Structure 1
Amino acid sequence: MILEDMKKNSNEPIVSFNTGTVSNQQDFIAISDDLKNVIIFDRNFKKINQFKIKKNAQKMIFTKNEDKILICDKAGDIYEFDVKQSSTITTSDEENCGRLLLGHCSMLLDFLLTDDQRFIISADRDEKIRVTHYPNTYNIKTYCLGHSQFVSVIQLINEQTLASGSGDGKIKIWNYLNGKILYTHDFHEQQPQEQQQPTSTTTNGGNKSLVRSDFAIKSMTIDRQNNGRHLCVSFLSQLILYLFKIEYQNDDEKQFKSLNIITQLKLNQIPLMIKFDSSHINFLWIFGAAKDDNDNNNEPIQLYEVKQNELARPLIRINVIDTLNQNEHFRRSVAAIKRDQYEYLFKHPFHGEIVDENFQHKRSRIKSE
């Protein structure tokens, strides 16, 4: 019925979904669109709550007991909302303010709740990763500082270890409880034929340059269902995935040791998101858009399996993938997603005589004080 209505209204502007999530016990599903609507369904797709939020959602997470949902927006704030309809929630046409948990001074790009629900870990455009107590979010545990560009994605490896990916082309592994870096993988240090250096382009302003990395990280996922044995990463400007094996000291899954590349996968589409399956070990979902808008053979959703240190198509077929890939409205919606949505996040250093002169004046004032 819904698909039929979509086909009838195929000439109307496409409303894109910003993000969505499923609760831990798979009892609830939440989606958000670019009109700032949040809709929560139960497992039978019966709508149990709907409201508008102030800013477009960047990511949503259900708490472990499934009574709350946390939503971060692009303004840098994280709010807490009731999952089920309550007396404090107004009609669907009015904003539901929720409870403000925390805010960053810059755009939030990713956040997560730790397994024990004690901390919210949030990453922003200004290279910061903040570890905040939950629900007492006025208490900041620590910061993880070390990236030189925006932190696009963070993932938990275990109860004390965090992986982060950044626009600087690096993966960093942290002990997030004390903010210490345990390991860094720099994609610019690949073998010579793959080595790529950060590029710089000058804008029309003349004195403003855009510093960007060819290995700027877009998405990252860890197969925690398999005890965190693999990490996979995709990039903003490259049609390739890297699959790492996570090494532990003495096979102790609490003692991280290193990352080792075990395979690469060349893609025929622009990767928008990658995700290890939370129900099936070694299954990797790739959500992507065609390089050419006129490519009618593109499959927006592809499924791969980690098998003998390779990424290969599994033998089984999943009906929901086939159904979505064959749906014209779904394919058009994917094609409408902005593929350069992270390009503007790179730092813009300024150069020129005026800037140099201002620095000289500032140094002089500091020396005279």
Structure 2
Amino acid sequence: MASSAGLALSGQALVVRGGSRFLVTSTASSDDDILFTYDCSSAEKKPQENKGEDGQPVDKGSDTILASTFSQSGSYFALTDDSKRLILFRTKPWQCLSVRTVVRRCTALTFTASEEKVLVADKSGDVYSFSVLEPHGCGKLELGHLSMLLDVAVSPDDRFVLTADRDEKIRVSWALAPHSIEAFCLGHTEFVSRICVVPEHPELLLSSSGDSTLRLWEYRHGRELHCCHLPSLQEPAEPWGDKRFAASRITYWGRQSCVALLCDCIPVVYIFQLDVPRQQLVYKQQLSFQHRVWDIAFEETQGLWVLQDCREAPLVLCRPEDGQWQSVPENATVKKVCAHLRGNWAMLEGSAGADDGFSSLYKATFDHMTTYLKKKEERLQQQQQKRRRDLPSGPNGQTKRVRAGQASRSCPS
């Protein structure tokens, strides 16, 4: 899957990525400079990366960043790219610690809560763990699915690894014994695009899917608590009313128990409130934008940052005012960060045509019985037409029905 631009926040550190590059700036008004920049195209490449199992050259990759994330404390940052590399950074101060090779191109990654490992999920359905404490150590295969993995998460106590795949499944595995499966969360009817363990309620899981739903689970028992059908929340006049879509990002704000949901290729962000006592999601509103939204992320103190395909205003900050979320006027912080992005717009330009690729994950369905019956009917009609053509015609053009026995007696010997 191609990757569009992305956004990550930890404390006041804000990371924006696009193509093979990312930059780090601060949302603090006192910090005016870009803190760190990195370009994956300049990262080291091992010779064996360019050889396949048969020793023949293979695709080197485009160096495009596919996924990235902060550790829980913000002390580490990791990314994977299209050249099959996992790159680990220390953030205080920013420094590249290691560049390691992964087996397959990766779709998602996450740090364990202890920050001792990075878990990487790939297209072949496997999850590998890489040590943070030994930044040059090789990866270890932890678990595998029979289909492509789209997201991976860990429980806040590091006891469980949660994986979401293309075959509509969410799997809950024991971290210390990944072959031991605690539960499956079943109910989605299309691929599961994103999963998110609620930090303040570690027994709860949010998931989104190509079936255009957002679901709430008590994941240890695989029990679905609530299901929101997103198309029912749209206005009839919206041009994407009949379009199937999946969420490309789920993010949670603990201050007001808010859940923000960004949908793939639709310039809309849905806002929900998590009602824990009633075990359900309460729909609040939707934020519509004039430009394509690439990514969203909550900052604990300020609100929701929105990264969009607009050079004049690449970042928008939204806050709740009188119970309604709305964009805030450009303040000094927003102006500063937007100025940094305008100065580095070249790294985001390639994302304008990129697509998260969820549309290609829908499985084609075939109605073989309808096709069979249609072809059978066509064959019967052709046979009837052929019989009519072969029968002799009377003086008035009417078809005579002559028995085979009578025809044989009327013929001269």
Compute the TM-score of the two structures, normalised by the length of structure 2. 0.68
Listed one character per residue, the Cα deviations across residues 227-250 of structure 1 (whole Å, up to 9, x for unaligned) are x6111112224211111122232x
1:15 is displaced (CA, Å) by 3.5
1:67 is displaced (CA, Å) by 2.2
1:207 alignment counterpart: none
Partner Cα distance (1:100, 1:153) in 2: 22
CA distance change for structure 1 residues 288 and 194 in 2, over 3 Å: closer, same or farther?
same
Partner Cα distance (1:4, 1:231) in 2: 31
* SS class of match (2:72): coil
Q: 2:367 aligns with which of 331, 335, 351?
A: 351
Partner Cα distance (1:191, 1:4) in 2: 40
Q: Is the 8 A contact 1:263 1:309 kept in 2?
A: no
* SS class of match (1:120): strand
Deviates more, 1:184-193 or 1:100-109: 184-193
2:25 alignment counterpart: none
Matches within 5 A, 1:165-176: 165-176=208-219
1:214 alignment counterpart: 244
Which stretches in structure 1 are left out of the alignment for 5+ residues?
7-12, 90-95, 200-212, 250-255, 291-295, 358-369
2:305 alignment counterpart: 285
CA distance change for structure 1 residues 316 and 178 in 2, over 3 Å: closer, same or farther?
farther
Listed one character per residue, the Cα deviations across residues 328-362 of structure 1 (whole Å, up to 9, x for unaligned) are 322224335x22511111121012458758xxxxx
Question: Could you tell me the percent identity over the aligned residues?
Answer: 27
Alignment of 1:312 onto 2:341: no
Greater relative CO, 1 or 2 (CA 8 Å, sep 6+):
2
1:194 is displaced (CA, Å) by 5.9
Q: 2:262 aligns with which of 234, 253, 272?
A: 234
Compute the TM-score of the two structures, normalised by the length of structure 1. 0.76
2:224 alignment counterpart: 181
Amino acid at match of 2:346: H
Q: Is the 8 A contact 1:241 1:266 kept in 2?
A: yes
Amino acid at match of 1:218: S
* SS class of match (2:73): coil
Q: 1:17 aligns with which of 42, 56, 65?
A: 65
Query: What is the RMSD computed on CA atoms of the aligned residues?
Result: 3.1
Q: Is the 8 A contact 2:167 2:190 kept in 1?
A: yes
1:56 alignment counterpart: 105
1:210 alignment counterpart: none
Partner Cα distance (1:304, 1:190) in 2: 20
Aligned pair count reads 315
Listed one character per residue, the Cα deviations across residues 207-233 of structure 1 (whole Å, up to 9, x for unaligned) are xxxxxx434333221113x2x611111
Q: Is the 8 A contact 1:73 1:108 kept in 2?
A: yes
Partner Cα distance (1:169, 1:61) in 2: 24
Partner Cα distance (2:372, 2:241) in 1: 24
Q: Is the 8 A contact 1:262 1:309 kept in 2?
A: no
1:268 is displaced (CA, Å) by 2.0
Alignment of 1:265 onto 2:275: no
1:116 alignment counterpart: 157
1:170 is displaced (CA, Å) by 0.8
Amino acid at match of 1:214: R
| Larger of the two Rg values belongs to structure | 2
1:243 alignment counterpart: 271
Partner Cα distance (1:267, 1:196) in 2: 14
1:164 alignment counterpart: 207
Amino acid at match of 1:155: C
